[in-house]
């Protein structure tokens, strides 16, 4: 067979992610603080963008959505970009961002906040995404806050969904000095959790760094630090319990309280003065950054739940159509300048649209999570339903990766506290009868209830617990029961029986 040159035509399909689409994906996972910072940069760089200072009391972001309603994606009045309806783009980002023709007419006001800055012909001093292997913010330096420091330790200390819920709420209540000012029983009542669970989670947090964090008063703060340094002996305990005598410089009173001589008391005074009475000030310059919720959930009059975006965390921009018309109508001029003007106007319009779509995506995902977890809102943490990304993605016809991006660094304010959206995703355990799956957290709670009801004659082995749970419709393995028991810090049946016998004696 002769080897000769020839031409061949082939037809194929492939998904091509435009620079705009790539940046939209990155924008979706930004927190509200990162969003505001990025928009400020774009407002400085793009001559066609202006900040919208009008009160946001009418747009769709303030309109509540009940948990059984589909949020509408209503564009801003007079918006100069068309809404996309492409189903193919839904598979890649779940939202379609169409290219904007710079010649399209639009309004002066368009809802949004992000602008593409990756187009090669546009030189910008700001941060760009195109060609940058690092995630947005990877090169930024910021001082870690106390809340971030504690949250990181919380996720290392436990994977128990209930402990994560309670722990996140407690960390949010810790002030800039490192103190927890609210009563634990009040926290338990608000979350619908057992007081013992809240107390156990609080105890875990007080073991975190910095030493003394989470204390409810000065005495507890000093006690935690002394325990951490292995210096909390009976004399030091008496000293801390009478710390008010130190403020009065009552040396003899401290000697009587501790039963120690003057030299030992002075040594204890030196030790206590070397401690940190406000451990939280070591992080974030002494200020804990308050988390602003992205979504609010309130109970509606008909008994359902109303979901609405927090307009205060959604910076809005205006696209100055008049200015563009004025400078683009000028005859003559350099071709490079015309290209720059056209691209910057396209950037401004695309940014406006992408921010609008970002807000609608967050609202849509949050509404579905609220619908799925309405029992938690009504009855507390024990009633968390098993939930994963796929369930939410299928319900609202989006991709799982989009749900993951939306739920990262996004917070929802509920009647039971402020939580990150990803906390509502819990593992599930299959039903032995083929019915609805059971939440792993609900199973843990049931195991705790059975063990707390034990007597010295009715101590349950892990196998017996498996048998009882299966009779109740929970298909669970013995090793899973053992793992859950260990996460609850419950000893084995042999150790529990021995402890009950000693108590009886």
CA–CA separation, 19 vs 4, rounded Å?
Answer: 40
As a whole number of angstroms, the distance between CA 387 and CA 385 comes to 6
Single out the residue of 444, 308, 304, 307 nearest to residue 374, CA to CA. 304
pLDDT of residue 2: 65
Tokens at 430, concatenated: 């299959």
User: Would residue 304 be called left, alpha or beta, if left means φ above 0 and alpha means ψ between -120 and 50 degrees?
Assistant: beta
Which helix (H) or strand (E) segment is 109 a member of? Answer: strand 109-110
Tell the burial category of 485 from Cβ atoms under 10 Å away from its Cβ (0-12, 13-18, 19+).
buried
136-145 long-range contacts, Cβ below 8 Å, gap at least 24? 136/26, 136/30, 136/34, 136/38, 137/34, 143/283, 143/284, 143/285, 144/283, 144/284, 145/283, 145/284, 145/287, 145/288, 145/289
The helix/strand/coil state of 25 is helix
Place of tokens 């053992």: 482
Question: In angstroms, how far is the first alpha carbon of the chain from the final one?
Answer: 99
Residue partners of 299: CB distance under 8 A and separation at least 6? 305, 306, 415
Phi first, then psi: give them for residue 384, nearest 5 degrees: -65, 135
- Structural domains in the chain? 17-51+290-425 (no CATH), 146-288 (no CATH), 428-504 (1.10.10)
Structure-block tokens of residue 376:
């938690």
Of 228, 232, 243, give the one whose Cα is nearest residue 279. Answer: 228
List the pLDDT tens digit at each of the 505 positions of the chain: 567 888 888 888 876 667 767 777 777 888 888 888 888 888 898 888 888 877 665 434 333 333 334 443 333 333 333 333 333 333 333 433 333 333 333 333 333 333 333 322 222 333 333 334 444 334 444 567 888 889 888 888 887 878 888 888 899 889 888 999 889 998 888 888 889 999 999 999 999 988 999 999 999 999 999 988 888 888 888 998 988 888 888 888 888 888 888 888 888 888 888 888 888 888 754 444 567 889 999 988 888 899 999 988 888 888 888 888 888 887 767 788 888 888 888 888 888 888 888 899 999 999 999 998 888 888 887 787 878 888 899 999 888 888 888 888 889 988 887 888 887 887 655 555 555 566 676 788 788 888 888 888 888 898 899 888 888 888 788 888 888 888 788 888 888 888 888 776 6
Give the separation between CA 137 and CA 34, rounded to whole angstroms: 8
> What pLDDT does 216 receive?
92
284: left (phi over 0), alpha (psi -120 to 50) or beta: left
- CA proximity to 93, closest of 24, 31, 34: 24
Cα–Cα distance, 473 to 438 (Å, whole number): 9
Q: In this structure, what are the phi and psi dihedrals at residue 438, rounded to the nearest 5 degrees?
A: -110, 140
CB atoms within 10 A of CB 85: 9
In this prediction, residue 429 carries a pLDDT of: 58
Strands 305-309 and 65-66 turn out to be antiparallel
Helix, strand, or coil (residue 88): helix
Residue 214's pLDDT is 92
Q: Which residues contact 410 (CB under 8 A, 6 or more apart)?
A: 31, 32, 294, 295, 362, 366, 420, 421
For residue 148, what are its two tokens? 């971030």
Closest CA to 151 of 495, 497, 419, 372: 419
Torsion-angle region of residue 128: left (phi > 0), alpha (psi -120 to 50) or beta? beta
Angle formed at CA 199 by CA 194 and CA 204, multiple of 5 degrees: 130
- Residue at token pair 């843990």: 444
Alpha helices (H) along 46-159: 87-92, 146-157
Residue 436's pLDDT is 56
- Is the distance from CB of 110 to CB of 76 less than 8 angstroms? yes
Three-state DSSP at 223 gives helix
- DSSP for 351-398 reads HHHHHHHHHHHHHHHHHHHHHHTHHHHHH-GGGPPP--HHHHHHHHT-
**For residues 81 and 110, is the Cβ–Cβ distance under 8 A?**
yes
pTM over 0.95: no
Q: Kind of pairing, strands 295-299 and 411-414?
A: parallel
Task: Determine the length of the chain.
Answer: 505
79 near 68, Cβ under 8 Å?
Answer: no
């Amino acid at each position: 067979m002769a080897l000769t040159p020839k031409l061949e035509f082939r037809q194929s399909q492939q998904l091509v992610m435009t620079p705009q689409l790539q940046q939209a994906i990155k924008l979706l996972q930004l927190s509200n603080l990162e969003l505001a910072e990025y928009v400020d940069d774009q407002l400085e760089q793009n001559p066609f963008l202006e900040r919208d200072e009008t009160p946001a009391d009418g747009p769709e972001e303030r309109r509540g959505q009940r948990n059984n309603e589909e949020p509408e994606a209503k564009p801003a009045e007079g918006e100069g970009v068309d809404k996309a309806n492409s189903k193919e783009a839904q598979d890649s980002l779940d939202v379609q961002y169409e290219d904007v023709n710079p010649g399209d007419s639009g309004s002066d006001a368009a809802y949004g906040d992000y602008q593409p800055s990756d187009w090669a012909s546009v030189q910008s001093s700001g941060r760009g995404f195109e060609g940058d292997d690092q995630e947005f913010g990877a090169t930024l330096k910021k001082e870690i806050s106390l809340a971030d420091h504690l949250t990181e330790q919380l996720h290392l200390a436990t994977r128990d969904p209930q402990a994560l819920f309670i722990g996140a709420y407690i960390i949010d209540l810790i002030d800039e000095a490192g103190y927890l000012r609210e009563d634990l029983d009040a926290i338990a009542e608000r979350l619908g959790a057992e007081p013992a669970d809240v107390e156990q989670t609080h105890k875990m947090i007080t073991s975190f760094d910095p030493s003394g964090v989470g204390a409810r008063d000065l005495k507890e703060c000093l006690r935690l630090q002394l325990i951490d340094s292995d210096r909390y002996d009976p004399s030091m305990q008496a000293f801390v319990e009478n710390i008010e005598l130190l403020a009065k410089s009552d040396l003899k009173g401290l000697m009587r309280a501790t039963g120690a001589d003057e030299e030992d008391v002075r040594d204890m005074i030196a030790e206590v003065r070397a401690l940190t009475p406000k451990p939280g000030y070591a992080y974030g310059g002494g200020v804990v950054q308050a988390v602003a919720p992205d979504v609010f959930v309130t109970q509606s009059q008909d008994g359902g739940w109303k979901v609405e975006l927090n307009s205060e965390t959604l910076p809005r921009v205006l696209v100055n159509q008049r200015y563009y018309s004025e400078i683009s109508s000028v005859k003559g001029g350099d071709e490079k300048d015309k290209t720059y003007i056209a691209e910057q106007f396209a950037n401004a319009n695309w940014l406006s649209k992408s921010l609008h779509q970002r807000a609608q995506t967050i609202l849509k995902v949050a509404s579905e999570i609220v619908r799925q977890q309405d029992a938690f809102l009504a009855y507390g943490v024990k009633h968390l339903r098993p939930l994963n990304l796929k369930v939410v993605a299928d319900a609202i016809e989006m991709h799982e990766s989009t749900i993951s991006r939306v739920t990262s660094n996004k917070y929802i304010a509920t009647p039971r506290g402020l939580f990150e959206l990803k906390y509502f995703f819990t593992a599930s355990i299959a039903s032995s009868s083929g019915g609805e799956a059971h939440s792993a957290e609900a199973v843990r709670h049931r195991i705790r209830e059975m063990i707390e009801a034990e007597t010295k004659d009715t101590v349950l082995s892990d196998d017996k617990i498996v048998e009882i749970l299966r009779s109740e419709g929970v298909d669970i393995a013995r090793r899973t029961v053992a793992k859950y028991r260990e996460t609850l810090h419950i000893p084995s049946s042999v150790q529990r029986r021995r402890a009950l016998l000693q108590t009886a004696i």
